[in-house]
Amino acid sequence: MTTPRDLLIVSLDVPSAHPVGQGDLSLALAGAELVDLLRTDALVLDGDRIVPGAAPKDPADPADPADPVEPEDALLRAAGASLRREVPYESVEDWLWRRGNGLAAAYHSGLEADGLLVRQRHPWIPMRTGRTALVDSPARRRAAVRWRAGDPVLAGLAAALGIHDEPAEDFGSLADESLVTVLAAVHHAVAELEAVRQRRSIEKAAFDNIWRG
């Protein structure tokens, strides 16, 4: 399993004070992808700039084991392949907005395709509804174990979605500056998205008042 999948499972499994928005979730999933790519040496951060590493090798390739290994997860492979390899390199926040576009839907579809997320059936009508539910699976249990253990990365990403009450700029025991940079960027991007929503809501209310007046 990957951090993005664990985060999606947690977002579906753990109660939160308010529904998790798809835009917020997409941004956090893009951040989770960066976390896993950092951990596989597919990239490094130079300040807030994403510097791609060597092209990942196939896991079956007997070449130098120090080379980055291509992730088995298709979406994470796609994330690695979409890294911009020209100078000036992309910033973390620019990546979140670019890569995050529609990402929540893609990960939902991935869980469904793997049978980890199923469409619920109406109790009186023998057809599937639009609602989905997690099935009991090893993947769900692994995500739950990681969550209960207080994994600081998973907790920090979840905090951006309102699932965890960890302060936005306090990432606990994380000593890796690159991971802290990614988490801080996720929190900032989610806050920026909320500010856009509020501004649009105010503008819409003002527009409606003009017509009512």
User: What span, in angstroms and rounded, lies between the C-alpha atoms of 36 and 33?
Assistant: 5
pTM assigned to the model: 0.84
Domain count, the chain: 1
Partners of residue 121 on adjacent β-strands? 128
Give residue-wise pLDDT tens across range 70-111: 677 999 999 999 999 999 999 999 999 999 999 999 999 999
Mean pLDDT by 10 residues, the chain (213 residues): 95 86 96 96 96 65 51 90 94 97 96 89 52 91 94 93 64 80 96 86 63 60
User: What span, in angstroms and rounded, lies between the C-alpha atoms of 42 and 95?
Assistant: 15
H or E segment to which residue 191 belongs: helix 177-212
pLDDT of residue 10: 95
Quote the domain boundaries for residue 193. 3-212
Q: Directed axis angle between helix 152-160 and helix 138-148, to 10°?
A: 90
What are the b/e assignments for 78-95, b being 16+ CB within 10 Å?
Answer: ebbeebeeeeebbbbbbb
DSSP 67-108: SPBPPSSHHHHHHHHT---SSSPPBHHHHHHHHTTTHHHHHH
DSSP 106-117: HHHHHHHHTTSE
